[in-house]
Amino acid sequence: MTFEAALRAGGIAIGHIDQGVNVPMYRTTHRCLSAGSMAGPLVVSMRAIPSGQVADAVRITSRYPAVHGAPVHVGNPSELGISDLQRPDFGDPVTIPDGHIPVFWACGVTPQAAVMETRPELAIGHAPGHMLITDTLDSAYLTP
């Protein structure tokens, strides 16, 4: 995921990468605006960030608005309707070290959640955590 390389370059460890698992993703209780008959919940991905580096993570990822952008929520997962971080709806649970804060980004699985809810006759998407790969460099998505 594009901004993760930038986070790591900024000295911020990414738990799911270090633990060798897929990023944890959660359906929230926040509803997206519908697009015609398509409607569903916002899905977020979570990365536990050391408390002293949260501002850095926000600053770094906000420079990638076309590919996730800045976090949509920092801190208490229950404010998003997430009751248990060890039970993601997609991906894998991660160990959250002491002194780390859960930080949540809008996730590309949101359309899949809408498809699952509205059940259109045909839909094409990606598997959670397995994004489309192109030859575009991450730097092409970086805003000054």
Residue ranges of domains in the chain, CATH in brackets: 2-120 (3.30.2040.10)
More confident residue, 89 or 126: 89
E-strand stretches of 17-134? 25-31, 41-50, 73-74, 100-106
pLDDT of residue 46: 97
Residue (of 56, 36, 50, 3) closest to 114 by Cα position: 36
Average pLDDT over residues 69-93: 97
Looking at the chain, the whole-number percentage of residues with pLDDT higher than 90 is: 74
Q: What is the mean pLDDT of the chain?
A: 91
